[in-house]
Structure 1
Amino acid sequence: MTKVKICGLKRKEDIEYVNKYLPDYIGFVFAESKRRVSVELAESLKKNLSPEIKTVGVFVNEDLESLLETIKRLSLDCVQIHGDESSMYIEALKEKLKGERKIEIWKAIRVKDGDSIEKMSEYNVDAFVLDAYIEGAYGGGGKTFDWELASKAKEYGKIILAGGLNIENVKEAIDKLAPFGVDVSSGVETSGYKDGDKIRDFIYKARS
C-alpha cells in the first residue's frame, strides 16, 4: 500500500489530527518556509506524536554538523534533503550515520524535464521525493508536474510523489504511478493551516 506523508506540521492541533488519522510519516520543515519550525518547537510537538508515525526532517542546504545534531536531538526516522546537495554530501551523511539505528535518507528532485530525472542516477538514497520545479524555490509551491516523468523515475529507486497533490487528484496519481509514497502539505490546508477533515479524506483516498 502506498505510504502517506503529511508535511509541514507546526501546531499542537496538527499533531492531534495526525494522531487521529495515522499517516505513515509526518514532516517537520527546518528550511526557509512559511511552515518552518525551530528544533525546539519540533521537539515539543514530537513528544505528543503517536509512536506509530515516523518523523521526517526536511532540510535545504543545511550544514552537515547542524543536520546531524537535529537528527540526534529529535530521533528522526528519515531525513529529506531538499536543496542543491551533492552526492558527496549524501555519502558524507551516510558515513556519519553508520552504526546508528537505521535512518532513511530521501533526496528531493525538482522535476522540470527529463534531465531532472536523469540526475537521480547520481544519488544512492532510500527514496526520491519528486516535486515540481519552481524557479527560485525549493518546494512547497503546491504545483503538479508531468507525471509521465515520474513513471520514468521509478527505475532509479523508490518514488515519493509530491507537488500539488490533494483530495481530488491523489487517487489518480496512485492509480497511474503506484509510487512508494505520496507527500502532501498545502493540499490538506485551509487558509494556510492544516485541516483535520482534509487530512482524513486525503489519507482515506490514498489508501482506498
Structure 2
Amino acid sequence: MTAVKICGLTKKEDISYVNQLRPDYVGFVFAESKRKITKEKAKSLIQGLEKQIKTVGVFVNAPIKEVKEIAAYCDLDILQLHGEEDQAYINAFSQKVWKSFRIKNPDDLSQLQQYDTEGYLLDTYVEGEYGGTGKTLDWTGIAPLPQKRPIILAGGLTSENVEEAVKTLRPYAVDVSSGVERDGYKDYRKIEKFIRTVRG
C-alpha cells in the first residue's frame, strides 16, 4: 500500500488531526517557507505525536552542523533535503535521507542516478522555488518511474488527483501539504479524504 506523508505541520491542532487519521509520515519544515517552524516548536509538537508516525525534517542547503543539531534535538527519523546537497553531504548523517528533485521533464530523472539515498522525492520544477508550491507534477510524462529506491511523489497532490497519480506511477509514498489546507492551515476533512483516497 502507498504510504502517506502530511507535510508542513505547525500547530497543536495539526498533531491532533494526524494522531486521529494516522498517516505514515509527518513533515516539519526548517527551511524558509510560510510553514517554517523553530526546532523548539517542532520538538514540542513531536512530543504529542503518536509514536508509530515517523517524523521528517525538511531542509534546503543548511549547514551540516545545523541539520545534525536539529535532527538530534527533535529526534527526527528522516531528513528530507531540497537543495543542491551532494552525496558527501548526505553521507554525513546517521538518519535516513530522502533527496528531493525538481522535475521539468523525463530527462530530469537521470539526476537520481547520481545519488545513493534511502528515498527519492519528486517535486514539480518551479523557477526559484525549492518545493511546497502546490504546482502539479506531470505524472504521465515521467512514467514509469525508476525503482532503484523508494520514490516519494509530491507536487500539487490533492484528494481529487492522488488516485490517478498512484495508479500511474506506483510510488512508495505520496507527500502533501497545501493540498490538505484551507486558508493556509491544515484541514481535518481534507486530510481525512486524502488518506482515505490513497488507502482505498
Establish whether TM, by shorter chain, passes 0.5.
yes
Contact 1:117 1:149 in 2 (8 A): no
Counterpart in the other structure of 1:190: 182
Q: Does 1:78 align with 2:78?
A: yes
Identify the residue that residue 44 of structure 1 maps to in structure 2: 44
Q: Is the 8 A contact 1:130 1:163 kept in 2?
A: yes
Q: Are residue 9 (structure 1) and residue 9 (structure 2) matched? A: yes
Give the alignment of 1:136-155 within 5 angstroms.
Answer: 136-155=128-147
Asked if residue 135 in structure 1 is aligned to residue 127 in structure 2, the reply is yes
Whether contact under 8 Å (1:130, 1:150) holds in the other structure is no
Measured in 2, the distance between the counterparts of 1:126 and 1:35 equals: 25
Mapped partners of 1:53, 1:109: distance in 2: 24
RMSD between superposed Cα atoms in Å? 1.1
- Indicate if the aligned counterparts of 1:117 and 1:152 stay in contact, CA closer than 8 A: no
Name the structure 2 match of 1:100: none
Tell me which residue corresponds to 1:26.
26
Q: Is this contact kept in 2: 1:106–1:127, CA < 8 A? A: yes
> Which amino acid counterpart does residue 88 of structure 2 have in structure 1?
M
SS of residue in 1 equivalent to 2:10 = coil
Alignment correspondent of 1:126: 118
Give the alignment's TM-score, normalised by structure 1: 0.93
Once the two structures are overlaid, the 10-residue window that deviates more, 66-75 or 111-120, is: 111-120
The letter of the residue matching 1:63 is P
**Deviation digits for residues 59-108 of structure 1 (CA, Å, limit 9, x no counterpart):** 000100110111111111110011111122112x24xx2xxxxx321000
How do 1:138-177 residues align onto structure 2 when only pairs under 5 Å count? 138-177=130-169
**CA displacement, residues 148-174 of structure 1 (integer Å, 9 cap, x when unaligned):** 354344234211100000010011111
Indicate the percent of aligned positions where both proteins have the same amino acid. 50
Bigger proportion of residues as helix: 1
TM-score if structure 2 supplies the norm length? Answer: 0.96
2:102 to 95, 110, 115: 110
Unaligned runs of 5+ in 2: none
2:143, 2:26 → 1: CA distance? 24
1:202 corresponds, among 175, 194, 197, to 194
Deviates more, 1:19-28 or 1:108-117: 108-117
CA distance in 1, matches of 2:39, 2:119: 24
Q: For structure 1, which segment, 4-13 or 139-148, has the greater mean C-alpha deviation from structure 2 after superposition?
A: 139-148
| Aligned length, in residue pairs | 200
| Distance in 2 of aligned mates of 1:120 and 1:20 | 35
